[in-house]
Structure 1
Amino acid sequence: MELLEQARAEIDAVDAQMAELFERRMRAVAMVARSKADSGKPVFDPERERAVIAKNTARITDEALRPYYNRFLQQAMAVSRAYQRELLGRGTAAYQGVEGAWAHIASRRVFPFARQMACKTWADVFEAVSTGKAEFGVLPFENSTAGDVSAVLDLLYGHPDLSVCGVYDLPIRQDLLGIPGATLAGLRTVVSHQQALSQSAPFLRAHGFETKVWGNTADAARYVSELGDPAVGAVASAETARLYGLQVLAQGINEDGDNTTRFVVITRTRSEDIPVGEGQRIALLFTVDHKPGKLAQVIERIGSMGFNMESIKSRPLPHVQFEYYFYVQLICPQRAAGQSCRTLLHDLEAPCRTVRLLGVFDHETLCDEEGVTV
């Protein structure tokens, strides 16, 4: 017991020093924010962050602690970015849906300190960002089982004033929720969005539950909470359960345990001179003449410069029958730099009718509030 008390006293002493150092660090962060306000630079500078994390992680002499310190620094950087955005008035993130919807959950995990703005439609999210009512918009872009969200891609194509600044994968785990005191044996009816019910159909059938289609998973949870009937449950997320005062009766009931939704974060374009590093993603929109070999030329030039094409999608070109525009997501090669990106864009001007840099960003998997991948 004496050893435990000694360890706790040491931790308290270190925490007191860290609190003083945290205030000192955040005062310096505020100075950085003022500088970025004057220069118009974006808050997120991935090359600078990677350099700082690498330099400071190397200072840890205990190799076993280095990965933990690396994670500590990543979280410190995220807090610093959030503080800068607040100081710069860049603290609003827009999403489509209601509180507890998957887009809301994604937005809260990407921007935990931002004010969340609910919008009725995806077009309203674009409008909010385009007009400056929100700095960021968080939108579903692709689902691992249902495929592309084509309407969002079309909205991106139709908004040349906006760019993509992040792509995040959110693993979707559907849980069965009920009011406090409800039991799995006592449930009779389950409500949720059609897709959530479909993904959880084997589990629901096995228990003999009647199902009722609802507008979305979060609103289904709200309905169950307000109804107060222990015989009625909802398929939604555990985070939605906390929001509406429900309990989780069964975890991970969706059949596809790997079901994941990819979200894009949009913002107003600031500059195309964005730092690019190895492993980062570049998103491009382009069109080509409707002639043999034109698309192949684009793909060949991308490959010849060492960029790995991670994704390619085609969509009907507005107002031009049976012609298409293309979206590609590329992984930057080793020793990639901003000049590599500019050279690629220049080289693609020849085979492309139009080419547009949609964004440069990191591709991450979202974690829950405790830092655990969900």
Structure 2
Amino acid sequence: METVLMKGNEALAEAAIRAGLNVYFGYPITPQNEVGEYLAKHLPRAGGTFLQAESEVAAINMVYGAAGAGVRTMTSSSGPGISLMQEGISYLAAAELPAVIVNMMRGGPGLGGIQPSQSDYFQATKGGGHGDYRLIVLAPSSVQELYDHTMLAFDLADHYRNPVMVLGDGLLGQMMESVTLKPYSPAFPLEEKTWATRGRKNRKPNIINSLYLDPEKLFSHNQKLFKKYQEIAEKEVRVEVINEEAEFFFVAYGSSARISLKVIELLKEKGINAGLIRPITLWPFPYTVIAEKVNQSKGFMVVEMSMGQMVEDVERAVKGQKPVYFYGTAGGIVPSPQKIFRRTLEILEGGQV
């Protein structure tokens, strides 16, 4: 296996190629443009197709068509572009079509700025589009994980016939780190997509649809989807816990998790035993893992580059049994470990827990 120095966006794109990406559709937006640039150069050499669409709306509908044909397909964007894709994402989920959607988050709302942020958590995990549906949401915290989780995303999408989002941010996308270019190894058996619209010989035509005018049929379809989401929630929770015996836990994902690790080091120098719960799947969310730490922990500190979106899920896990605090920044400001450290000391030494 080769280990190289790569930018996060490029490592993600290389992983997609190695995982068998057939067609990519996208439209440029900072801070993920290197994804498209890399794929434009390298995907055709690997036998795939790159197409820059005329808009994000067009891109996600092209993804819908390619997914329906049974090929591995992907798009990437950032907050404003993902907003434009929401209708198509709902269609993909409703039609049970596998696809990978990458969001390298930037500051918002509105056009916001081009600096890193984590303010698309609600959009990703609560269903930014219409109707009852879920995306599997993976949250890498390193360039290596951008590579690894992108491969996993394609496998999860195919296995559950559901869109999967890789939720990064501008900091991860732009940083450079060493990456081990592992060969692709499927997480699940690669099954023939007998449901795909690839033309027919000696069988009835496949129909891919998300329109049900009969309310009873639409209700039945929702029940089918919900049963699948229950299975995903039972089987696909991914989380990392650092320092299982801690007396105070940070809860953070992505870039914020990396920053929280530095805070934990600073607290250790003060004799404070702190740990980290890092959700790797933002949906399904690791409610049970957090709940299991309630009795031993004096409290939980959510660190997030937003105004506190993940706090709601942490509070749901804690169920009011211990305090849940929040330290956040927005608008593209990356939180300082020293400032989080000082705020945590105020809480712990001030007897606020």
TM-score, length-normalised on structure 2?
Answer: 0.24
Calculate the TM-score normalised by the size of structure 1: 0.23
